[in-house]
Structure 1
Amino acid sequence: MSVKVDLSRKATQGPPKKDRRPMERTALGEDDQQFFREAMADVRPLSDESNRFVPLPDADTKPAHPAPDDELETMARLTDLVSGSAELDITFSDEYIEGAVPGFAPKLMRRLKRGEFPLQNYIDLHGLTRQEAQEKVTDFILESYRTGFRCVLVVHGRGHNSENHIPVLKERLPYWLTRGPARKIVLAFSTAKPYDGGTGALYLLLRKRKGTL
């Protein structure tokens, strides 16, 4: 005896439907409720303050002015003692400039580049001719040295308003810092952080004048 099966009808039948009725909630007994209250006794809801979004620091935002650092000052004084008046070693690229006397501590250079020295004075060279800027920079360095300043800022600009947009002052500054009176005063220099002028400014670390605290 043969049995015929209707395959077409069987193929159209899907899996049995699940019972979609909502699950019935089981009421907690008195013992369960007491246990739950004890377990949650130390839990406190989050306040609005703790839910606030804290933005990441902006590279263009200047942080709090760094306080004088005894370690930095000690390292700078040691550099004063061990370094002579030899010409600075200069690294120059399209964007960044840095230079230091031979034997300058790499750790000290990294901290100068990060803007960790408190800035004690600055000069802005915008609008000056090359000759005027050279004279101003020399006078500024000498005056800062006589005053006992250690870290100062020179704002030279990016050359956007100069002919062919060439940063003439930026290109000349390293040579001014390694010649004339500045040569015996400047220990190191580096392109500033964005909040201090970025590629349009230089940090200068000066020797400590003898006889000053």
Structure 2
Amino acid sequence: MQHDEFELFLQEMADVKPLPQDAVLQQNGDFSPTLAQQARRKAAEQEMEYDPHYLSMEYVDLVKPDDVFAYCKDGVQQGVYRNLRLGKYQCDATLNLLGKTLQEARSLLQQFITDCHQRGVRTLLIQHGMGRNSKPHPAILRSYVFKWLPSFSEVLAAHTAQRQHGSYSATYVLLQKNAEQKRENRERHTKK
């Protein structure tokens, strides 16, 4: 039976002629990028130099409006993280992202964290809302904030806020000490 099918196939293909092949150019190994490729490469390098805290706008794992966010870098003392989680630290600066587009929120968050770190502010409150009614998916801004915060080298820990500070619609953030604060800390401990 298979032999008959094969013979039938050969009969059907008898008048088919192969396509003429194009000449294949041999590469000599001396490839140089086009001017357009060079320009794109240069632009990409400048963009990376300009944006040290690149925050991706690509794929994000969506969270629910009432998911708890908990992030802590290795080396952060458990007592410090517990106090942050319980809202025991005074929030020295607040960023309100309610009603902002993702592009605006990304830019504001980058600027806010950089400014706070340079000024020596350690405990922040980010108000991003719960996003129950956001389109096309619920909690889209909240999902991106959760994705972006761990990408900052200055962020030591973050956690969903307590009820008195906004609960699921806000997040506590703990920043590391800036260079001046580290220097002062070293001097204070070496004098003992």
TM range (shorter): 0.5 to 0.7
2-structure distance, mates of 1:196, 1:178:
21
1:133 is the counterpart of 2:105: yes
Task: Show the 5 A alignment for 1:54-133.
Answer: 94-133=66-105
Task: Give CA deviations for 1:103-159 in whole Å, capped at 9, x if unaligned.
Answer: 322221111111011110001001111111011111000000011001010000010
8 A contact 2:71–2:150 mirrored in 1: no
Which runs of 5 or more structure 1 residues have no equivalent in the other structure?
1-91
TM-score (norm 2): 0.58
2-structure distance, mates of 1:176, 1:95:
16
1-structure distance, mates of 2:139, 2:160:
14
Task: Specify the SS of the correspondent of 1:189.
Answer: strand
Task: Give CA deviations for 1:21-47 in whole Å, capped at 9, x if unaligned.
Answer: xxxxxxxxxxxxxxxxxxxxxxxxxxx
Q: How many residues align?
A: 119
1:211 is the counterpart of 2:164: no
Equivalent position amino acid for 1:148 in 2: G
Q: Which has the higher contact order (CA 8 A, sep 6+)?
A: 2
2-structure distance, mates of 1:178, 1:193:
20
Task: Give CA deviations for 1:83-122 in whole Å, capped at 9, x if unaligned.
Answer: xxxxxxxxx7742101011132222111111101111000
1-structure distance, mates of 2:137, 2:96:
18
User: How much is the aligned-residue C-alpha RMSD, in angstroms?
Assistant: 1.7
Task: Give CA deviations for 1:29-72 in whole Å, capped at 9, x if unaligned.
Answer: xxxxxxxxxxxxxxxxxxxxxxxxxxxxxxxxxxxxxxxxxxxx
1-structure distance, mates of 2:71, 2:150:
9
Once the two structures are TM-superposed, the CA of residue 165 in structure 1 deviates from its matched residue by 5.9
TM-score (norm 1): 0.53
Task: Specify the SS of the correspondent of 2:99.
Answer: coil
Equivalent position amino acid for 2:147 in 1: Y
Task: Give CA deviations for 1:1-29 in whole Å, capped at 9, x if unaligned.
Answer: xxxxxxxxxxxxxxxxxxxxxxxxxxxxx
The answer for the alignment partner of 1:150 in structure 2 is: 122
8 A contact 2:96–2:128 mirrored in 1: yes
Once the two structures are TM-superposed, the CA of residue 164 in structure 1 deviates from its matched residue by 5.4
2-structure distance, mates of 1:106, 1:176:
23
Task: Specify the SS of the correspondent of 2:126.
Answer: strand
1:197 is the counterpart of 2:166: yes
The answer for the alignment partner of 1:160 in structure 2 is: 132
8 A contact 2:130–2:139 mirrored in 1: yes
8 A contact 2:121–2:175 mirrored in 1: yes
Once the two structures are TM-superposed, the CA of residue 160 in structure 1 deviates from its matched residue by 3.0
The answer for the alignment partner of 1:175 in structure 2 is: 147
Higher-Rg structure is 1
Equivalent position amino acid for 1:109 in 2: Y
Once the two structures are TM-superposed, the CA of residue 175 in structure 1 deviates from its matched residue by 1.9
Task: Specify the SS of the correspondent of 1:188.
Answer: strand
2-structure distance, mates of 1:100, 1:174:
12
